[in-house]
Structure formats: structure tokens, C-alpha cells
Amino acid sequence: MPDSQKIIEIEVLRYNPESDKEPHLEVYKVPFSDDMSVLQGAQYIKDHFDGSLTFRWSCRMAICGSCGMMINGIPKLSCETFLRDYYPNRIRIEAMANFPIEKDLVVDLSGFIEKLESIQPYIIPREPRSLDQGEYIQSPEQFNAYIQFTSCINCTLCYAACPQFGLNPDFIGPAAIALLHRYNMDSRDGAAAERMELVAAEEGVFNCSAVGYCSEVCPKHVDPANAVNINKTNAAKDYFLRFLSPKGGSK
């Protein structure tokens, strides 16, 4: 190791469900270069200090959405956050807030997966369509109505950011509602009324108090807060207009 080698202190929230009653912090002194991400810092700790350190990662380039964690208290993807931006201060990495910790930096996402399934995240056609009717034609305008909301990588940083999800884990939450909105806005889809039952439910959009932090931390600029708030208006319309609608709105 050359003398000029820079060393940063990384404080890691450790938790081993087999031996620990509660999570605790441990500090590691990690030599780093300017091109090293926080994820690479964690990998260095695993390779050189403690092979039991557990965290999720895959692509290393902000596409897979696996490596989210709290970095100095802010939900971020660790692969696109660089150690040089924190040096010479100590950096603290913890499991994503608002989720139960499985081990070290790995959280239990099963609740989120259930929510993703519950919004019916697939195109439900307006009417049956046969192959000889050909492909769907979509104008650029129709495409632009939903494309932004397709960019979600399910990193769940928005859930770690959302104070309302922290207080009520039943809240469907930002990413799932953004994806719900993506399918509702797709001209090929006809299931917005079906999904309204969930949007308007007690688990739905009205848990949101428009803090907007979800959109701030989103690494893909999906703007889930916008999707949630558009659906508040939709749900309010559905609430008051259901008596006038021939179909009676959702239940």
C-alpha cells in the first residue's frame, strides 16, 4: 500500500439474526481510490475484513436496483454514490429505512413484492383482440403519457424515503402506485376502474401527505409523488361521481 493511499472510515449497520438482539454499528478503515463507489467500499470490507457482511448488488451501474441503502441517512443506490464525495469524513451505511432487516444491509422486500402484484402490473386489454387484427398502434402522445413511469427499477428507495410508509406499512406506496399509474395511462389498457378499488382504498393514495421525498431520492426520475397525487384527484372524482356514473364506479 503506497503512503499516499487515502483511507476512509465506513461505519456499517450490522445485524445477524442468529446472534444479535438488535442491530449495531461497526467501523472499518477502507483504503480507496477516487473511482470507488460506496458499493465497492462494502465489497472491500467483505473481501478483506469480514466475509459475513451481507448486502445485495448486481449490475454496478444503477440499472438493477439491488444495492439501495441509507448512506449518511439518505436512501441512495450505493453503486452510483462515490466514497470521494464523503472523504475525509466518516461515512455511515445502513439497511434501507422502513423495512424489516433480514441481515446486515439486506431488507425483507416481500411486502413490496405483494404490493407490486396487487396493482395488476400488466396490460389488461379493453376488449379481446385477435392476432389478425395486427399490432396496437400508439401515437407518440399516447406513448409519452406513460413512458416516464416505466423507468422504475424497483429499488424501493422511495419506500425508505416515505414517512407515511414508515408509519403505515400497509400503504401501497410510491413505486407500486407509479407502476399502477403507468398501466392506467397506457392506451392499450382498460383496467383503470378495476385498479381504482385499490387506489381509493384505505391502503391507497390518501396515505400520502405530499412530502415529495420519494421523487427526490428516485434514481430514475420516475416522479412517483406525481403519480400518487394525480391518483388522489382520480380517486376523489371517483368518490363523488360514482353516484352519477352508469357503472357506479368501483365499490
Q: Which residues make up the interface to another protein (CB under 8 A)?
A: 118, 120, 163-164, 167, 194-195, 197-198, 200-204, 206, 209, 211, 232, 235-236, 239-240, 250-251
Closest distance between another protein and the C-beta of residue 164, in Å?
A: 7
Rounded distance between C-alpha atoms, residue 162 and residue 209, angstroms: 10
Cell of 62: 444503477
Task: Tell me the three state secondary structure of residue 190.
Answer: coil
Closest distance between another protein and the C-beta of residue 94, in Å?
A: 19
Cell of 101: 432487516
The neighbour count for residue 26, using CB atoms within 10 Å, is: 14
Sheet holding 68-71, edge to edge: 24-32, 6-14, 91-94, 68-71, 74-77
Closest distance between another protein and the C-beta of residue 226, in Å?
A: 16
Counting beta carbons within 10 angstroms of the beta carbon of residue 137, is it exposed (0 to 12), middle (13 to 18) or buried (19 or more)? exposed
Written as one letter, the residue type at 149 is: F
Task: Pick the closer one to another protein by CB: 174 or 204.
Answer: 204
Q: State which H helix or E strand residue 160 sits in.
A: helix 157-161
The β-bridge partners of 101 are 107
Task: Pick the closer one to another protein by CB: 61 or 167.
Answer: 167
91, 9 contact by CB (below 8 A): yes
Nearest Cα to Cα of residue 158 among 192, 201, 115, 191:
115
18, 100 contact by CB (below 8 A): no
Rounded distance between C-alpha atoms, residue 82 and residue 104, angstroms: 20
Task: Pick the closer one to another protein by CB: 89 or 209.
Answer: 209
Closest distance between another protein and the C-beta of residue 163, in Å?
A: 5
What's the distance, CA 185 to chain centroid? 20
Task: Pick the closer one to another protein by CB: 137 or 210.
Answer: 210
Task: Pick the closer one to another protein by CB: 42 or 205.
Answer: 205
Closest distance between another protein and the C-beta of residue 228, in Å?
A: 12
Closest distance between another protein and the C-beta of residue 171, in Å?
A: 11
Task: Pick the closer one to another protein by CB: 120 or 142.
Answer: 120
Closest distance between another protein and the C-beta of residue 22, in Å?
A: 20
Task: Pick the closer one to another protein by CB: 109 or 180.
Answer: 180
